[in-house]
Amino acid sequence: MMTAIDVTATPKPRFLSHLYTQVLLAIVSGILLGYFDGELGSSLKVLGDLFIKLVKLVIVPVIFLTVTTGIADMPDLKKLGRVAGKALAYFVTFSMLALVMGLVTANFVQPGAGMHITAASLDEQAIAIYAAKSHEISLLGFVMNIIPDTIVGAFVHGDILQVLFVSILFGTALGAVGERGYPVLDLLHAMTAPIFRMTAMLMRLAPIGAFGAMAFTIGKYGVSAIANLAVLVGTFYLTASLFIVLVLGAVAQYNGFSIFRLIAYIKEELLLVLGTSSSEAALPGLMAKLEKAGCARPIVGLVVPTGYSFNLDGTNIYMTLAAMFIAQATDTPLSLGDQVMLFLVAMLSSKGAAGVSGAGFITLAATLSVVPSVPVAGMALILGVDRFMSECRALTNLIGNAVATIVIARWERELDTVELKAALNGQ
């Protein structure tokens, strides 16, 4: 007996059901719309902004629940200090490498040479708002800002470091009270499932956010904005790529995994960052994937949020490269001593700008204001293409934090290598 075939029930192509495919198509669509109808593209900025606000809605509870339950479940609280110490040592080391790589590349390629722009001809008003915000950045102010005014204030303002600080304190206290804290710990464990489910639901809106953000970028600044400073943008992307492949790739290889397989594993988060120019949008998804890849929850909960403030490889490359570009474009000679000063100031200011909106550009303003040799007004030269470089900064930062988490988990013997291999192999 023949079975009737239902021709109306054609299955949806599987590749279209993947989030990364949908985000990629949204990015391409946004670029095309922004190119052919710049006015309409510029008006769609609200879509990207709304999506990022939705994601920020779940970042605070994800960090609080992950860190608190992870620490409370940790039998040895001394381990917390050890993990934090190793993480900070790792962050400082690779921040220095990124800064040095930016300096070396700028000296070798010299992307700003030959422009011969006088500082007096630059539009200082264009960067006035960034220069004003840069004065708010200081190492002491950064440390003081880690401690919120109230416990509730940390959750209201959504500052990642403040939430992390409260989570560590509460998780430590919860673990210290023993059995009396079990009901609270069970409640927090139970809350984790719906919060991560809500995160997954919001991530399905990623294509809409990526479409709006990319349409706005191309519609407002145009493709020609890249061409005007193509050497700088190209040098930055090349330097960041070399840092990922050579430096992070060597670290990954030494620790038993492939940087290329890791990039393929977190491709959805990377495309989300590419579309929105915001690494915060990918934070919940990155934490979930790293935990699924065999990294212990306490390690993920501590290293990833901390890395978002202290492990900014892409931002560090950008800072020294952009500063050198401005010096070269304005024919400002920088001695070896000036470059060392630039390196040291950038090392500190990159930490002081953590949590500040538009941190990359503002941090550069803060750095140049301390290094008098390079005119701060020169930032007007790169203002038009900063949006395009911010995407590369965020991508590099995200990959750097993924590598850092796996490496530190391995150092602490809190990495399930079987799960890691299965995840990176797509099983």
Cα separation, 421 vs 287, whole angstroms: 17
Q: What is the mean pLDDT of the chain?
A: 78
pLDDT at site 139: 53
9 pLDDT tier (thresholds 50, 70, 90): very low
Q: What confidence tens digit (pLDDT) does each residue in 65-84 have?
A: 877 887 777 766 677 778 88
Cα–Cα distance between 354 and 399 in angstroms, integer?
18
Contact 384, 67 (CB under 8 A): no
Query: What does the pLDDT read at residue 329?
Result: 80
Q: For residue range 272-300, what is the model confidence (pLDDT) as tens digits?
A: 888 776 777 788 889 889 999 999 888 88
Show Cβ contacts of residue 352 under 8 Å, excluding neighbours closer than 6 positions.
137, 138, 139, 141, 142, 363, 366
Token digits of residue 43: 């008006």
Q: Mean pLDDT throughout 4-30? A: 63
What pLDDT does residue 10 have? 44
β strands within 90-214, DSSP E: none
Q: How many CB atoms lie within 10 A of CB 419?
A: 15
pLDDT digits (tens, 9 = 90+) for 298-354: 888 888 888 877 788 888 898 888 888 888 887 888 888 888 888 877 776 666 444
Handedness of CA 110, 112, 118, 120 (dihedral sign): negative
User: Could you give the 3-state DSSP secondary structure of residue 149?
Assistant: coil
Q: Are 323 and 339 in contact (CB under 8 A)?
A: no
Do residues 298 and 73 make contact, with C-beta atoms less than 8 angstroms apart? yes
Residues 84-106, mean pLDDT to the nearest whole number: 89
Binned at pLDDT 50, 70 and 90, residue 362 comes out as: low
CA nearest neighbour of 287 among 60, 91, 105: 60
pTM for the predicted model, two decimal places: 0.72
Region class of 370: left (phi > 0), else alpha (psi between -120 and 50), else beta: alpha
Q: Give the mean pLDDT of 133-161.
A: 69
Distances (CA, A) of 62 to 342, 405, 408: 37, 17, 20
- Please report how the helices 386-411 and 359-370 are oriented relative to each other, as an axis angle in degrees rounded to 10: 90
Give 365-421 pLDDT, tens digit per residue: 767 766 667 777 777 667 666 767 878 888 998 999 999 999 999 998 889 999 999
Residues 6+ apart with CB under 8 A from 376: 124, 127, 131, 365, 368, 369
Fold of domain 17-424: Proton glutamate symport protein (1.10.3860)
Q: How confident is the model at residue 124 (pLDDT cuts 50, 70, 90)?
A: low
**Token pair belonging to 170:** 């509460």
Gyration radius from the chain CA atoms: 23
Q: What is the pLDDT of residues 22-35, one digit of tens each?
A: 877 888 888 888 88
Percent of the chain with pLDDT over 70: 78
Q: What is the spatial distance between Cα 349 and Cα 344, in angstroms, rounded to a whole number?
A: 9
- Asked if residues 216 and 42 have their Cβ atoms less than 8 Å apart, the reply is yes
Smallest CA-to-CA distance from 211 within 414, 402, 33 is with: 33
User: Quick one: tokens of 7?
Assistant: 């021709």
DSSP summary character for residue 246:
I
Residue-wise pLDDT for 167-205, tens only, equals 888 888 888 888 888 888 889 888 888 887 887 788 788
- At residue 172, the pLDDT reads 83
- CA-based end-to-end distance of the chain: 39
Distances in whole angstroms, Cα of residue 225 to Cα of each of 33, 139, 388, 389: 16, 34, 9, 12
Angle in degrees, 0-180, between the axes of helices 313-329 and 386-411, rounded to the nearest 10? 140
d(CA 172, CA 71): 6
Question: What are the extents of the domains in the chain?
Answer: 17-424
**Nearest CA among 197, 211, 267, 263 for reference residue 19:** 267
Q: Are 353 and 393 in contact (CB under 8 A)?
A: no
Q: What is the pLDDT of residue 357?
A: 42
